[in-house]
Structure 1
Amino acid sequence: MIVDDQQATVAFLYNPAAYGESGPVEAIETHISRIFLVGQRAYKIKRAVRLPYVDFSTPALRLAACEKEVELNSKTAPGLYLGVRRITREAGGTLAFDGSGELVDAAIEMVRFDQSKLLDRMAVGGELTPALMTDVARMIVRYHRGAPEVHKGSGSSNLAGVLAINEAGFATSHVFEQAEIKAFTGIFRTALARHCELLDRRETAGKIRRCHGDLHLRNICLFDGEPRLFDCIEFNDQIASIDVLYDLAFLLMDLWHRGFPELANLVMNRYL
């Protein structure tokens, strides 16, 4: 649910003069963010929403989320995230970047990269190769090895919590009918019950870590010639504090869904 008016912020960010540019401003919208592309930069803001799994309802919360996103993603996409810009209301009511006035919003400043280098676009173009996906798998291995362990209950209770958040999100998304949500939620929970002991052993072994949380092809890009993970979950630690194989499964499912089971198999084997 949208809870704050961001019309002034959006109008400000659509104005190329705000960035000292004269060229056009392009925008990309998702359900919880907007990205404005201008010149060699991209500026990402959080939508002013309050949902079961995320709260961006105030400027202060959006600023904190932007700062956390830069902190987390700078580890896996060095050079891509440049910092956070405060959007303030100055004398006379005009908006500015990093002024002395009241905080109105916040934007993440990033290097603008070629959208054709997103791995989902490369998949459509038939450009995913075994060599590239091997590099991706090895990067994920390094990332997971360095991610902090999370010990806040059993492995099965951890996944049960994630399923509860997912269920609440489905209920407010209007993507699925209630009968569909009930059906696949039941399937998920049946599978969880079947694997409780294994999940608990994996938690004891340190396999639950602060992960990416949304590791599909669209959140991996080629940047400076290297695969980079970006746009990890910053707004809800519970969603991202998961078993490392649950994290990897996002990528495997995406590859399988797009018709690349052999690459999913390769990634899994290189990861192991």
Structure 2
Amino acid sequence: MITENQDVVVEMLKNPASHGEVGPVETIETHISRIFLVGRRAFKMKRAVKLPYVDFSTPALRLAACEREVELNSITAPGLYLDVHRVTRAGDRLALDEPGELVDAVIEMVRFDQSKLLDRMAAAGELTPALMTGVARMIAHYHRGAEVIHAGSGSANIGGVLEINSAGFATSHVFDRKEIETLNAAFRDALSRNASLLDRREAAGRVRRCHGDLHLRNICVFDGEPRLFDCIEFNDQIATVDVLYDLAFLLMDLWH
């Protein structure tokens, strides 16, 4: 659900003068974000949405999410995330980081070559053994250092993920009611069959605060090295999972 009209902020960010640039601004939109590409920079804002798994409904929540995104992603993508800017209003004028009412927030990033996203490199046949070995080593290193979370059994952890998925299916309009029922039943059956294994893995410390969205489009080659970026910053429950669940996002993309 959209909670605020952000049109005036979007128009400001579409103006290259707002960023001290003269070139055109390219805009990319997702269901929860907008990215503005201009010159050598990218500026990312959160859409004012409230969904079962994310709440960006107020400027303060969006600012906090931006700050958390930079904090988390700077671990796996050093140098890519630069700063968080406050969008403020004084009278009828919007500005970045000036005194006034907080109306929004935006993340400043280095703009990188989009052909270096791993989904595009996959389509171009450029995922070499050497590159994928580097990706695998980086993910393994990241997972080894990720915080171990003991907040319940492994089966309960995945059960929580399935509840979030079910709520998302119900509002996405991607599947009809019968398809949703079939999917949810299959997930519950798989959970039941693997519950004891998931519980053993949680006890062994395999449930950690992970990336949470580790598909090919969220990995890029930056400064000559594979980098993980755009992790889940807005919902710790989604990102706190078994490390193999985290890895499964990437494996599904590679198999596809």
Q: Normalising by structure 1, what TM-score?
A: 0.93
Give 1:65's aligned residue. 65
Equivalent residue of 1:75, what SS? helix
2:139 matched to which residue of 1? 140
Partner of 1:34: 34
How far does residue 181 in structure 1 lie from its aligned partner after superposition? 1.1
2:145 partner letter: G
Give the deviation of 1:178 after TM superposition. 1.4
Matched, 1:239 2:238: yes
Deviation of 1:36 after TM superposition, in Å, equals 0.3
CA deviations on 1:73-107 (whole Å, 9 max, x unpaired) are: 000000000010000002x3111000100001000
Q: After superposition, where does 1:40-55 map in structure 2 within 5 Å?
A: 40-55=40-55
- List structure 1 runs of 4+ shifted beyond 4 angstroms: none
Aligned-residue Cα RMSD (Å) equals 0.6
Matching residue of 1:13: 13
Residue identity over aligned pairs, in percent, reads 75
1:211 is matched with 210
Q: Determine whether 1:186 maps to 2:189.
A: no
In the alignment, residue 10 of structure 1 is paired with which amino acid? V
Secondary structure at the counterpart of residue 158 of structure 1: helix
**Which whole-Å deviations, capped at 9, do the CAs of 1:120-144 have from their partners, x for residues lacking one?**
0001111111111111000000000
How far is 1:170 from its partner? 1.1
Aligned residue for 1:128, secondary structure, equals: coil
| d(CA) in 1 for partners of 2:104, 2:231 | 21
Note the 1:1-272 alignment, pairs <5 A: 1-90=1-90, 92-257=91-256
Q: Unpaired segments of 5 or more residues in structure 2? A: none
Q: 1:105 is paired with a residue of what secondary structure?
A: strand
Using the alignment, how far apart are the partners of 2:110 and 2:47 within structure 1?
Answer: 21
Q: Secondary structure at the residue paired with 1:107? A: strand
Report the CA distance between 1:175 and its aligned residue.
1.1
Deviations 1:50-70, CA, capped at 9 Å, x for gaps: 000000000000000000000
**CA offsets, 1:127-163, max 9 Å, x none?**
1111111110000000000000011100000000001
Normalising by structure 2, report the TM-score. Answer: 0.99
Counterpart of 1:268 in structure 2 is none
SS in 2 for 1:144: helix
Letter of the structure 1 residue corresponding to residue 94 of structure 2: L
| Cα shift readout 1:157-190 (whole Å, capped 9, x = no counterpart) | 0000001001101111111111111101111110
Number of residues of Structure 1 aligned to a counterpart in Structure 2: 256
Tell me the distance in 2 between the aligned counterparts of 1:78 and 1:200.
34
Structure 1, unmatched stretches of 5+, are 258-272
